[in-house]
Amino acid sequence: MKKVKLFLLLCLLGGVPLSALANDTLTYDRINLDVTASEKIDNDTLTAILYFQRQGRNSADVADKVNQVISWGLERARQEQNVKIQTLDYQTQPLYENGKLSGIWQVRQSFRLESKSVASLSALLGELQEKLAIQHIGYQLSVDKRRQAEDALTQTVIARFKQKAELVARQFNANDFRIVSLNISSSGSRGRPMPMMRAMGGVMESSIASAPALEAGEQTVQVGINGVIELVRE
């Protein structure tokens, strides 16, 4: 008893709080477990970025032409009820030649289209290529479809974690286990954009281009659990 009192007195004199001693308890039979579940899901959303670019010495005339063509493209896209539209960058910049201003201005604007109807958007792109250039086309999972896949995989991975924890407990002759910490994360490989760039100095007067040939493909959605369990032997 005297030794215990002496030890506590030395801790207090040394500036060590008693709460730290209480929290510094030794733990045994803790095991780290990792479990994952994944599934390949078909992409269901097509996205495309289109742009128009023009150069000239009169910046106002150049900007006016770009505005006209972009407005034409947006108006045509608005006619498709199942296509979402988002305007993107608008750039006006002088061009240089041999490190000096050339007196030529370049104006460029782009917008993004998104749709779950591949046929509709593909046909629309064929029409828009009459005046606009396609910067890229890509596929992705919609938010709803990704959420549904992650919810299903979360249930699967939790069941697998419990099964693995029970197996480990039995192999170490423990009666049960308790969860000390748990972290659930999700990831997925995104569809890569397909570059379809084409230089355009002005409006194309050619007939409507044919619709691009597209394949949606798939991507892998994965949910993982990293956790620590403690074996119960009582």
CATH classification of the domain holding 108: 3.30.70.2970
Asked if residue 63 and residue 89 are part of one domain, the reply reads yes
* CATH number, position 172: 3.30.110
Asked if residue 148 and residue 34 are part of one domain, the reply reads yes
Asked if residue 147 and residue 36 are part of one domain, the reply reads yes
pLDDT (average), residues 194-207: 41
* Residue range 5-17, pLDDT digits in tens: 554 454 555 554 5
Residue 33: predicted pLDDT = 96
Model's pTM, two decimal places?
Answer: 0.65
Asked if residue 95 and residue 36 are part of one domain, the reply reads no
Which of 91 and 210 is assigned the larger pLDDT?
A: 91
Question: Residue 198 above 50 pLDDT?
Answer: no
Least confident of 100-104, 124-128, 203-207: 203-207
Residue 144 to residue 203: CA distance in whole angstroms: 39
From the list 67, 225, 231, the residue with the least C-alpha distance to 161 is 225
Residue 234: predicted pLDDT = 76
Average pLDDT, the chain: 83
* Residue 102 in domain: yes
Residue 94 to residue 189: CA distance in whole angstroms: 39
Q: For the chain, report the end-to-end CA distance as a whole number of angstroms.
A: 30
Amino acid at 210: S
Contact status, residue 230 vs residue 165, Cβ threshold 8 Å: no
pLDDT (average), residues 110-134: 93
Is the torsion defined by CA of 144, 147, 152, 153 positive or negative? positive
Task: Provide the domain count of the chain.
Answer: 2
* Residue 35 in domain: yes
pLDDT (average), residues 117-128: 91
Residue 199: predicted pLDDT = 37
Asked if residue 38 and residue 54 are part of one domain, the reply reads no
* Residue range 170-180, pLDDT digits in tens: 999 999 999 99
Structure tokens at 80: 């498709």
Which of 210 and 139 is assigned the larger pLDDT?
A: 139
Residue 17: predicted pLDDT = 56
Asked if residue 183 and residue 95 are part of one domain, the reply reads no
* Residue 92 in domain: yes
* Percent over 70 (pLDDT), the chain: 77
User: If pLDDT is split at 50, 70 and 90, which confidence band does 51 have?
Assistant: very high
Side-chain half-sphere exposure of 202, counting CA atoms within 13 A: 5
Structure tokens at 209: 């281009």
Residue 207: predicted pLDDT = 46
User: If pLDDT is split at 50, 70 and 90, which confidence band does 150 have?
Assistant: very high
* Residue 197 in domain: no
Segments forming the whole domain that contains residue 133: 45-140
Contact status, residue 217 vs residue 139, Cβ threshold 8 Å: yes
Contact status, residue 194 vs residue 213, Cβ threshold 8 Å: no
Structure tokens at 186: 């999700």
User: If pLDDT is split at 50, 70 and 90, which confidence band does 194 have?
Assistant: very low
Question: Residue 69 above 60 pLDDT?
Answer: yes
Question: Residue 42 above 70 pLDDT?
Answer: yes
Q: What is the DSSP letter of 213?
A: P
